[in-house]
Structures are given as structure tokens and as C-alpha cells.
Structure 1
Amino acid sequence: MKKPLVGAFAAALLLAGAGAAPAVAQGDVSAQDNHSATPGKAATGSTEAESLGTALDEVLGKGKQKPQAVDFAGTVALSNCSGSVVRTPDAQPGDPALVMSNGHCLEGGMPGPGEVLVDQPSSRTFDLLDASGAEVGTLKASKLAYGTMTDTDVSLYELTSTYEQIESEYGIKALELNAEHPTAGTAITVVSGYWKKTYSCNIDGFVPTLKEGDWTWKDSVRYTDACKTIGGTSGSPVVDDATGKVVAVNNTGNESGEECTVNNPCEVDENGEITVRKGINYAQQTYQMVPCVGAGSKIDLSAEGCGLPKPGAVAGK
């Protein structure tokens, strides 16, 4: 697991000991407009050649806008982890907003194998970030709607604010959960609200079973080598660069090459063969939770298509 950190001060000491400093948002966001006018170039009317070229580009599909660079808007910082305000495709503006993070980031400690928490009291707070990574407000939970480390590693907090209240007060929209299974090769960005830092890479593939200590996760996302996530990035949304939708939640990585120990997950294939990939990091898919969120942001584990484990689930089954 990407170890939960005890406050920003402890996290800063951790990085300082490693010879690094906490990242600042401005240095990590690559959202500058690449279509800005070149300084010093006089504005002129389009020539016939330029107009013809533009028309040809449009016919060939080259005139389409490129996807916007992924930024921090809608992400949050927890006391020990990262997270994001998320919504399903069918969520309504007046629904209570949801914050997603990892199950191992819960304020009450890590759930045991097979443990599923539903509708637990919580007054946890979250620092909401804007596109640049600046903290613009504090959101508060009304309850822990769902949390587990069985089959997946996720927590969903229901907030005291609705989606429209957050957008009206802060001008920030929730990140949408993609309802479809992602594909290998997809360009992604892991967005850490805790560190105000982003990590860009691709989905390298999917792991049938990922084991770490006493926990087992299914169909996990494996990143390519470029996403060097660290402690405190736990719970970060994994965003599809092309759509801007969330496809997974960042949760772990093999730190020292050990086999199946805490902070050193191992991959287990369909034949039971174990593979250890030192330095490689992982996430848990989120498409399977979309059918579980019903009207009013209520969690319905019996809903058709809901892929989240229910209370009483048997770990690894």
C-alpha cells in the first residue's frame, strides 16, 4: 500500500529524508494553452492558403481540439492520503456529493480481510483543490458510505454538501467515474491532492489477483514504469487523459522487491504463478462501483451490476 501519512509535516520529513522536497502544484500541472499567439507576432488576416489548409485539416479530422491536460480540480487532500470528489454518470446536481479514496486510508484504520463497512458515522474533513492545486475550501463528511480492502481498496464518503452546492460555491465540478472497463495502453494521470503532484504513464495491463500481506485484490490496474507514486498518493484518482474520467483509484506498489508482503504486492496469474515487479505501482478499477450508487448517492450493494463486495464477503473468493 502507498502508506497513509500522519499529517503533512511527517510527510515532508519523509521526503526530506529521501533527498526530495514536497512538490508544488505549479511545477506539476501541464495545462498551459499550446495555441497561444507567439509573442511579438503581428495578427494578420488569414491568407487563402491558410484558409485552404484549415479546411483540409477539418476534413481530415486534424482540426479537432486535443484533450485538456489533467489538473487538480475536484481532487482533495485527506489527513493521510489523497482523494477526489466523484460522481456517477446518472448523479443529479442535488445529490449529496461523494469523496473517493482508499479503504486503507480510513480514519479508523485498515479494514481486515473480508471486512466491509457500510453507513458508518464520520465527520472527516477534506481540503478541496482547484485546477492549480490551491486549497479553496473544506468539505465535510456526513458518513462513511462504503469502505473495504476486500477484492478492491476503496472508500466512499457521503458529504454534507451537494454537487451543485460545491460547484456554486467553489466553481468546481466532481470528476465522473467511467462506467466501462479501461483498456491496456490507455494514457492516464494519477492526481495526488495530498502532494499536489501528478504522475503520467499508461495502463500496462491488468492483474487477475494482486496479493499484499493479508489482503487480496482482483483485476488490478498495473502502471507502466513512469508512474513512480509514493506514500500519500493513496486514494488518488486515476484519470483517463482522453476523456477526463476516473478509471481507477491509486493504491499500492512494490517498494523493495519482496514477495506478497505489506508494501510489496505480488501478482498471481490464473495458473497461480507469482510474479514480483519491484518499483511497479498499481490501482484498483472503479467501473464496477458505478451501478452500486443509486438515487441520492445511496449505496445499494444489491443493485444489478454492482461489483463491490457485500458485508460478510470472504476475502479472496
Structure 2
Amino acid sequence: MKKPLTGALCALALAAPAALVAAAPAAAAPAPAPAAVAVNFAGTVALSNCSGSLVRMPNSVDSDPGLILTNGHCLETGMPAAGQVITNQTSTRGFTLLNASGGSLGTVKANRVLYSTMTDTDVTLYRLSSSYATIKSRYGISALTLDTAHPVAGSSIKVVSGYWKKIYSCSVDGFAYRLKEGSWTWKDSVRYTSGCDIIGGTSGSPVVDATTGKVVAVNNTINEDSQTCTVNNPCEVDQNGTVTIRPGLGYAQETYTIPNCFAPGNVLDLTRAGCVLPRP
């Protein structure tokens, strides 16, 4: 596991002597495609063994404590077992905050692991001791926003690794109904097209939509050795139980459901309506 009518308008008129036939209105020009945003390292972080990002929920406010998003398998106390969910665990972990070009700005520190699991998804969320406002004032960095919409097949994405200070560019190839790796199983995983050939240390990188600039997933694994369902060699399992391996293709875990699990103030609440994250 790693630490993507033109239509024509036809008009029919019946001619009559001395009749005036009105010209059909011109078809409206198609709307231009949205311009891509500049995706860089601002707001990403480097961990001791992984990558991550400073993130906010759509309803977060500047006075809220900052949040760091990374993988469950990047947890400093070791990878959660299948079926294990960790919440509200004390932490003093530090993260190197990066600027747009990948330069180090300083260290932000966690005071708690709010949530960590490798069941259904592969995610850890840390709460920082500093607010977004404090981080912005001290470092000039704003948090990345978690999208609340499901990723779209074919959309352009960037996998931004703070550990390696490298940005991978590819598209969403599709989605794996179930992704199995070792003893863990993840649901509705994002599959990359070629180009996002991630390596160790990229685990936990934010997957950023290249059009909106929002985080749509968290990078977590790739099939390295063409093996089937082993560690570092995830396999896809469809609704009928058919197993498929895709050597050399990487995957990420969707994040659009995470905001449903946070109350105002960046308070984790797994009982909120719409929250589908596994509970302890």
C-alpha cells in the first residue's frame, strides 16, 4: 500500500407563395470548459513516513482547530487491524507544513487523533493545537477543502505528495466496488489512470480535483508486483465476487462522506445524519 455532443439544430419549414419563412434561431455556443486551477504544495504536509494535508470541512470557520488528513496505515502507533476504529486518541505528532513550491514553513502539531481506521476506507484525521486563523497568520497558508460530491470518472486529478515534494497528474479511471489488500477491505475506491505511478511515502497524499482545487480522495495504494490481494498488491472484487488485478495502477479512498461526520467546530460526531464512517 502506498505510504481517469455536439448536437445539430435542424429546422423544417413548408414554403408557400409570397410567404415569409423566419430563420431558425442560432444554436447557443457551448459553454467553455472550466479552467483548471493551479494545484501546488500549499497546505500539504510531510509526515515522518507519509504525506498528508491540512484540510477543512465546507462549514469549518477560521477559529476552528486545524485538521490533518492522511492514511490509516500512516498512524504513528501502527496500522489499525481490520475492523478496528480508533477515535479521540492523544497525539503529539508533528507535521512539516509546506508552501506552494514545496519549501518547509515550520511544524504544526497535533494534540489528538480524532479518527483512524483501515476498515471500508484508509484514513486518519488529526486535530491540531493551532486554529486555521493562527496557521494563516503565522505561515500564510490556507487549508484545502474537502469536496462533498462523489468523484467523477474521467476527471483530471493531482496527487500531491508532501513527503517527496512531487505532484502526480492523471485522471479518475473508475471505481473499485471492493478493494482488498491483505486483511483489509475498502469500499468504492478511486482507481487512477496511468501517470499516477505512486511510490512509498506518497501514502496519505491529498487527491485534488484539477478543476475545483478541492480534495476528493486520499491516496493509499498501488499494485506493485502483479500479485493478487496481498500487501502492496490490491485486487478489485466486483458485486459478483469476480477478482481482478491491475498491475501498476494506483488507488485512493474517497473523502466526500467525511464532512457528514463533523459537527460545527470540527467536532467528530459519528452519529450525525449521513455519516457512514465505521464506528468503534
Normalization by structure 1: what TM-score?
A: 0.79
Query: 2:164–2:201: 8 Å Cα contact kept in structure 1?
Result: yes
Report how far residue 61 of structure 1 moved. 5.9
Which of 149, 159, 172 matches 2:141? 172
Aligned to 1:296, the other structure's residue is in SS state coil
One-letter amino acid matched to 2:261: C
Q: Larger % of helix: which?
A: 1
Question: Structure 1 residue 251 and structure 2 residue 220: aligned?
Answer: yes
Query: Aligned residue for 1:225?
Result: 194
Q: State the alpha-carbon separation in 1 of the partners of residues 242 and 273 from structure 2.
A: 33
Q: State the alpha-carbon separation in 1 of the partners of residues 35 and 172 from structure 2.
A: 20
Q: State the alpha-carbon separation in 2 of the partners of residues 226 and 208 from structure 1.
A: 22
Question: Structure 1 residue 200 and structure 2 residue 169: aligned?
Answer: yes
Query: Aligned residue for 1:84?
Result: 53
Taking structure 1 as reference, are residues 75 and 308 closer, same or farther at Cα in structure 2, changes over 3 Å only?
A: same
Q: Which runs of 4+ in 1 moved over 4 A?
A: 59-62
Query: 2:34–2:211: 8 Å Cα contact kept in structure 1?
Result: no
Larger Rg: 2
Uncovered stretches (5+) of structure 2, i.e. residues with no partner: 4-28
Report how far residue 69 of structure 1 moved. 2.0
Q: State the alpha-carbon separation in 2 of the partners of residues 107 and 61 from structure 1.
A: 48
Spell out the pairing of 1:136-147 with structure 2 (5 A cutoff).
136-147=105-116
Which of 129, 132, 151 matches 1:182? 151
Report how far residue 294 of structure 1 moved. 1.3
Query: Aligned residue for 1:66?
Result: 35
Question: Structure 1 residue 111 and structure 2 residue 88: aligned?
Answer: no
Report how far residue 298 of structure 1 moved. 1.1
Aligned to 2:54, the other structure's residue is in SS state strand
Q: State the alpha-carbon separation in 1 of the partners of residues 31 and 69 from structure 2.
A: 36
Query: Aligned residue for 1:238?
Result: 207
One-letter amino acid matched to 1:113: A
Report how far residue 225 of structure 1 moved. 1.0
One-letter amino acid matched to 1:172: I
Report how far residue 188 of structure 1 moved. 0.1
Superimposed CA distance per residue, residues 156-179 of structure 1 (whole angstroms, 9 cap, x where no aligned partner): 000000011111111110000000
Report how far residue 230 of structure 1 moved. 0.4
Q: State the alpha-carbon separation in 2 of the partners of residues 65 and 242 from structure 1.
A: 7
Superimposed CA distance per residue, residues 176-213 of structure 1 (whole angstroms, 9 cap, x where no aligned partner): 00001111001000000000000000000001100000
Query: Aligned residue for 1:25?
Result: none
Aligned to 1:83, the other structure's residue is in SS state strand
Q: State the alpha-carbon separation in 2 of the partners of residues 65 and 184 from structure 1.
A: 16
**How many pairs were matched up?**
255
Superimposed CA distance per residue, residues 258-289 of structure 1 (whole angstroms, 9 cap, x where no aligned partner): 00000000000000000011101000000011
Spell out the pairing of 1:28-43 with structure 2 (5 A cutoff).
none
Superimposed CA distance per residue, residues 99-124 of structure 1 (whole angstroms, 9 cap, x where no aligned partner): 00000000000000000000001000
Which of 53, 65, 78 matches 1:96? 65
Query: Aligned residue for 1:263?
Result: 232
Q: State the alpha-carbon separation in 1 of the partners of residues 168 and 195 from structure 2.
A: 8
One-letter amino acid matched to 1:2: K
One-letter amino acid matched to 2:271: S
Query: Aligned residue for 2:2?
Result: 2
Aligned to 1:181, the other structure's residue is in SS state coil
| RMSD between superposed Cα atoms in Å | 1.3
Normalization by structure 2: what TM-score?
A: 0.89
Taking structure 1 as reference, are residues 135 and 61 closer, same or farther at Cα in structure 2, changes over 3 Å only?
A: same
Query: Aligned residue for 1:306?
Result: 275
Q: Percent identity?
A: 61
Q: Larger % of strand: which?
A: 2
Uncovered stretches (5+) of structure 1, i.e. residues with no partner: 4-58, 312-317
Report how far residue 296 of structure 1 moved. 1.5
Q: State the alpha-carbon separation in 2 of the partners of residues 233 and 130 from structure 1.
A: 17
Query: Aligned residue for 1:273?
Result: 242
Aligned to 1:167, the other structure's residue is in SS state helix
Superimposed CA distance per residue, residues 8-62 of structure 1 (whole angstroms, 9 cap, x where no aligned partner): xxxxxxxxxxxxxxxxxxxxxxxxxxxxxxxxxxxxxxxxxxxxxxxxxxx9866
